[in-house]
């Protein structure tokens, strides 16, 4: 009787231990990506930090982007000139975690294709979850200025390549399966949130592509991030697509911030060009920066460098 009771207690302890480990691992997965919304109308969240590439480094920049869950383009914007294939040991790299929230009502999912980030505002909460994304290639663009909704969710999606996709891969010497069954080898990963018109927010079976233009129009996330969205985003959630390379914020302390990203190219010529594509400035942004308190040199530098980092443009 005593041994039976002991076995029962040990079994219960083992169950509680597994539950505790599950909670810790899942909390760690999304800890750095879920933020309390700023108070008093402020819109800047997060903090940038700097890492040093370790001695005798043999890892690509993608490794560090994945480790700190930022998009590859975001980390390249913030660190112009760093070697994407093999960053040099001792190099200091900015991890871009400070972000200006989109200037629109905080609800549902907002996808800003220009900065390649997804923002999820859970209903009846004071939180925002932010994840880097991969978007459509040139000529296969992810939609801009589009409002839709999550129509359904699927664990273990199948992928059936269209005829045009099959032809595209065939020209590269790769024959695609007619249908890819659910599983770890499926290019859509293990989780999918389906929108309208064959678009989806999904995972991946690859170790790259987050923060790059690599898809045929869908939104690609790292697997831990899409799992979080799958578990937290209800069917019917609104999804808004925007294309805003410039974001601004007037904070309550009177400081003005501007965050400038490289605008998306809409053709291969500008995509491959070494020259910057001009940025179209709206009247709202024009009026925001034309202020006697604004340092015009800092503004010009922000537009020239396009580092994707919030910059205080008020004169000291």
Tell me the per-residue pLDDT of 115-145, one tens digit each, with 9 for 90 and over: 999 999 999 999 999 999 999 998 889 998 9
218 is catalytic: yes
71 lies in some domain: no
Q: What are phi and psi of 314, to 5 degrees?
A: -80, 140
| Pairing status of strand 238-242 against strand 108-112 | parallel
CA 110 to CA 256: how far, in whole Å?
A: 23
- For residue 225, what is the DSSP state? H
Give me the residue label for tokens 């690609």: 220
pLDDT confidence of residue 168: 87
Phi/psi at 36 (5° precision)? -70, 135
Task: List, for the chain, all residue ranges whose pLDDT scores fall below the cut of 70.
Answer: 1-32, 267-275
238 shares a domain with 109: yes
φ, ψ of residue 225 to 5 degrees: the values are -75, -45
| Predicted TM-score of the model (pTM) | 0.86
Question: Is the distance from CB of 200 to CB of 192 less than 8 angstroms?
Answer: yes
202 is catalytic: yes
Q: Are residues 235 and 298 in the same domain?
A: no
What 101-104 contacts at long range (C-beta under 8 Å, 24+ apart), as own/partner pairs, is 101/37, 101/38, 101/43, 101/44, 101/45, 101/128, 101/247, 101/249, 102/242, 102/244, 102/247, 103/43, 103/247, 103/248, 103/249, 104/240, 104/242
pLDDT of residue 173: 87
Catalytic residue among 2, 144, 218, 276: 218
The residue count of the chain comes to 316
Residues 269, 176 share a domain:
no
**Do the domain assignments include residue 79?**
no
pLDDT of 161 reads 86
Report helix, strand or coil for 131: strand
Q: Which residues pair with 147 in a beta bridge?
A: 240
**Which CATH number characterizes residue 143's domain?**
2.40.440.10
Q: Give yes or no: residues 112 and 188 share one domain.
A: yes
Looking at the fold, whether 177 and 195 belong to one and the same domain comes out as yes
| 209 and 301 housed in the same domain | no
* Torsion angle, alpha carbons of 271, 272, 276, 281, to 10: -10
User: Is 204 found in the same domain as 114?
Assistant: yes
Query: How many domains is the chain built from?
Result: 3
Same-domain check for residues 191 and 256: no
**Rounded-to-integer distance, Cα 43 and Cα 102, Å:** 8
Q: 132 in a domain, yes or no?
A: yes
Q: Which domain does 146 fall in, by range?
A: 101-242
279's tokens: 């940025």
Verify that 257 and 187 share a domain, yes or no.
Answer: no
Q: Return the closest-CA partner of residue 205 out of 196, 197, 195, 215.
A: 215
Q: Please identify which of the residues 202, 216, 261, 276 carries the catalytic annotation.
A: 202
Q: pLDDT digit string (tens) for 31-60?
A: 358 999 999 889 999 999 999 999 999 999
On whether residue 48 sits in a domain, the answer given is no
Angle ∠(180,182,183) on CA atoms, nearest 5: 105
pLDDT, position 30: 39
pLDDT for the residue numbered 21: 43
Side-chain half-sphere CA neighbours of 129 within 13 A? 22
Give the pLDDT score at 227: 96
3-state percent helix, strand, coil for the chain, nearest multiple of 5 = 30, 25, 50
Identify the domain boundary among 202, 218, 242.
242
């Amino acid at each position: 009787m005593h041994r039976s009771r002991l076995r029962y207690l040990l079994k219960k302890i083992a169950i509680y231990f597994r539950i505790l480990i599950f909670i810790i691992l899942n909390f760690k997965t999304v800890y750095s990506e879920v933020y309390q919304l700023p108070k008093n109308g402020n819109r800047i969240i997060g903090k940038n930090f700097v890492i040093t590439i370790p001695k005798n480094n043999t890892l690509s920049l993608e490794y560090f982007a994945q480790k700190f869950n930022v998009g590859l383009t975001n980390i390249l914007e913030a660190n112009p000139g760093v070697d994407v294939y093999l960053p040099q040991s001792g190099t200091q790299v900015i991890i871009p975690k400070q972000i200006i929230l989109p200037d629109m009502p905080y609800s549902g999912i907002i996808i800003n294709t220009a900065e390649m980030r997804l923002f999820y505002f859970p209903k009846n909460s004071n939180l925002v979850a932010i994840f880097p994304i991969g978007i459509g290639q040139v000529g296969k663009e992810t939609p801009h200025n589009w409002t839709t909704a999550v129509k359904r969710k699927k664990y273990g999606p199948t992928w059936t390549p269209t005829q045009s996709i099959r032809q595209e891969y065939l020209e590269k010497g790769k024959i695609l399966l007619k249908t890819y069954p659910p599983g770890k080898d499926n290019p859509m990963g293990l989780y999918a949130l389906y929108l309208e018109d064959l678009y989806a927010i999904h995972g991946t079976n690859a170790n790259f592509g987050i923060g790059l233009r690599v898809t045929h129009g869908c939104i690609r996330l790292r697997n831990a991030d899409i799992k979080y969205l799958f578990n937290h985003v209800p069917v019917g959630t609104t999804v808004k697509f925007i294309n805003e390379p410039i974001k601004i914020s007037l904070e309550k302390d009177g400081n003005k911030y501007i965050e400038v990203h490289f605008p998306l190219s809409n053709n291969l010529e500008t995509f491959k060009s070494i020259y910057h594509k001009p940025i179209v400035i709206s009247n709202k942004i024009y009026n925001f920066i034309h202020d006697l308190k604004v340092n015009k040199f800092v503004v010009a530098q922000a537009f020239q460098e396009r580092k994707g980092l919030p910059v205080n443009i008020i004169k000291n």
